[in-house]
Structure 1
């Protein structure tokens, strides 16, 4: 693989991730004037008689909360953050959950957050930091729903090719904290700061919208049941819960503030390209649907634009993978990269990086993959059939 292109992509990936860290994003949106904090032109009123509480859930919530501390002119009276395993080194109270499938830790974390949020009064102020991964990290099932039910449902959702937006539509029916239900029990004044991981930045689906008034209707739920034939893969009582679900409508509107999204990533990538003297071609929110189909689309676009050099094509979004009964190891980004490799058939002069912005792609521990004509040549020399690895969803090697 051409080392120059590979090094540029790896270097750029790290620069992009650094550019969308909370401390960098906050500098764009927050400012303090006369000891008063503003988000853009919106006053964040912290002159309160009661307690100031910081809380959060999701893979980026701890860094979001930590980066927020320098903007405060008063002490924090309490905190609770729900995070993946291995998080540490913080002034906040931390509880671990599990991702991507909720487990007993997620249930413990969800119940603890539920009771924590419910304990506030009208005099208190809650600042909550919400990011991707929150849906699995904390869970508190509705009455009649077991952990096993939620695990089976989540595993089915992830393996049948549902998008994160579609998954989070259904998750709310099984949970006491999703789909605006945390907001319903919170008496404190709330500010919700959000780092989006979903297409379109739909606030009702980011982290399953624990504080956001749900706009889902029964028609959407029934459409998803039919589209993915869920009655064949989920227990009857879970299907009945979905069909009988009535989203709460009487939750007061709680302010949500978007501090980062896929567009911030692409903008950072464009600036890096300009600095390197490379022309960027950006395609926002262009990655969706099955990773294989998206990979084929990208390969076609690469062929179309490949004569225009030097060019860096930038794609953003989130794909899905519909798994078979005995899948191999890999992730959505890796499967996309392998599909592009197979479609280009060793076409020279092209190097592709496909990676997750959170540094995780599937269960193998990789952030993604880099492929080029050199990768294809090596596969040919080893007599590896790329098609067979794609059929088995076995891209991690």
Structure 2
């Protein structure tokens, strides 16, 4: 069996399970008496919007209008919607303009109108909207500080939503009195729709005081102007009990759980037993890789807690705490570098990749690793510890020729990890 082809097939099965058309076909809201305005936000937003347009038209529901905001290079064909591109993971001026275009699209609506919010991961950065007294530069500094902090995505979003005019349900509030139906592709552990893209149309109960407690407990250092804003009453996000949200609906239409289940079914069909550890694993990427390595070793050497051959699947969103001079790579290659050190000499092959096709800011979704990765690095004249110290997991797998580069997938349900343990 070609192990890497097998693991790649599982990745593509996971991505296919989050296909926009499949995700949306059974959840279209009823046609309104008035206008239908679509607001699509995130790295897979253009594909979601294109699928929605087709399905809405096929259902005979009439025209739609609205705005799509996605990452540079992620646009897709569209009909009547305006598609805008902006920067991710650090926002830029194009994102600022896109945010204004979104607000303009939902201005002046009536109770007869419908707003369909298609929301997926990446929207936090794509829709910068600094509150009064702060600038885009302040929001950029906030994003950089959070990305470098190693905080889990739930903590980052809890903080970001209190430094915004659009996050934390504020976009839904701006749509009133129109009904808002949010169809969400979850890329967050636990599939809380209020966490996806920092919840522009979904308020939650995390208060400003909660956000401050998270900052202090984790020792996160934020720019002074940003910190001063969060400490003020002006930062408080809307309550889910606010009457402006009455009649709105929220549905998670695709998630890591569903994608992992699809990958497991594909593995079983190929004759390889599959187990899913969790779809909500968080923590420092390299440490999570080490834990997965320990499980794989136990399976390979002692046949517990699973018997080989088996493919071990997991999802979620790990983090990488950056040093003063970080190298290249994202959380999936960082995970694999931690894994590879722990499976040296063991009959294990692994793939870890971001389901949106991009790991961090490089051109790869992730990489492959196996029990010989560390030995092959040394044979190529490299000390694996150097890549760890330089925080350069991309460089390690680039040297090995083991990067996984499927290109943008058009969806985003977080990280996908598949570890194949063979019979020794």
Q: TM-score, normalised by structure 1?
A: 0.91
Aligned length, in residue pairs: 378
Displacement after TM superposition at 1:286 (Å): 4.9
Instruction: Note if contact 1:164-1:198 (Cα within 8 Å) is conserved in structure 2.
Output: yes
Structure 1 unaligned segments of length 5 or more: list them: 31-38
Counterpart for residue 35 of structure 1:
none
- 1:378/1:156 CA distance change after superposition, 3 Å: same
Q: Distance in 2 between matches of 1:238 and 1:44?
A: 39
Counterpart for residue 313 of structure 1:
312
Counterpart check, 1:134 vs 2:128:
no
Counterpart for residue 392 of structure 1:
390
Displacement after TM superposition at 1:157 (Å): 0.1
Secondary structure, aligned partner of 2:106: helix
Instruction: Note if contact 1:288-1:317 (Cα within 8 Å) is conserved in structure 2.
Output: yes
Structure 2 unaligned segments of length 5 or more: list them: 396-424
Instruction: Note if contact 2:334-2:393 (Cα within 8 Å) is conserved in structure 1.
Output: yes
Q: Distance in 1 between matches of 2:392 and 2:29?
A: 48
Counterpart for residue 36 of structure 1:
none
Residue of 250, 254, 263 corresponding to 1:256: 250
Residue of 90, 99, 113 corresponding to 1:124: 113
Counterpart for residue 335 of structure 1:
334
Q: Distance in 2 between matches of 1:374 and 1:237?
A: 49
1:49-68 paired onto structure 2 within 5 Å: 49-68=33-52
The runs of at least 4 aligned residues of structure 1 exceeding 3 Å deviation read: none
Q: Distance in 2 between matches of 1:358 and 1:88?
A: 14
Q: Distance in 1 between matches of 2:128 and 2:295?
A: 41
Counterpart for residue 211 of structure 1:
201
Instruction: Note if contact 1:169-1:208 (Cα within 8 Å) is conserved in structure 2.
Output: yes
Q: Distance in 1 between matches of 2:309 and 2:336?
A: 20
Residue of 45, 61, 84 corresponding to 1:95: 84
Counterpart for residue 98 of structure 2:
109
Displacement after TM superposition at 1:355 (Å): 0.6
Displacement after TM superposition at 1:287 (Å): 2.4
Instruction: Note if contact 1:299-1:340 (Cα within 8 Å) is conserved in structure 2.
Output: yes
Counterpart for residue 190 of structure 2:
200
Instruction: Note if contact 1:102-1:139 (Cα within 8 Å) is conserved in structure 2.
Output: yes
Q: Distance in 2 between matches of 1:21 and 1:77?
A: 21
Residue of 186, 191, 196 corresponding to 2:181: 191
Instruction: Note if contact 2:142-2:223 (Cα within 8 Å) is conserved in structure 1.
Output: no
Secondary structure, aligned partner of 2:278: strand
- 1:78/1:25 CA distance change after superposition, 3 Å: closer
Q: Distance in 2 between matches of 1:65 and 1:386?
A: 43
Instruction: Note if contact 1:342-1:387 (Cα within 8 Å) is conserved in structure 2.
Output: no
Counterpart check, 1:266 vs 2:260:
yes
Q: Distance in 1 between matches of 2:256 and 2:76?
A: 27
Instruction: Note if contact 1:111-1:139 (Cα within 8 Å) is conserved in structure 2.
Output: no
Counterpart for residue 273 of structure 2:
279
Q: Distance in 1 between matches of 2:109 and 2:180?
A: 11
Residue of 21, 30, 33 corresponding to 1:45: 30
Secondary structure, aligned partner of 1:174: coil
Counterpart for residue 416 of structure 2:
none
Secondary structure, aligned partner of 2:313: strand
Instruction: Note if contact 2:169-2:203 (Cα within 8 Å) is conserved in structure 1.
Output: yes
Residue of 209, 219, 223 corresponding to 2:213: 223
Instruction: Note if contact 2:188-2:280 (Cα within 8 Å) is conserved in structure 1.
Output: no
Q: TM-score, normalised by structure 2?
A: 0.85
Counterpart for residue 82 of structure 1:
69
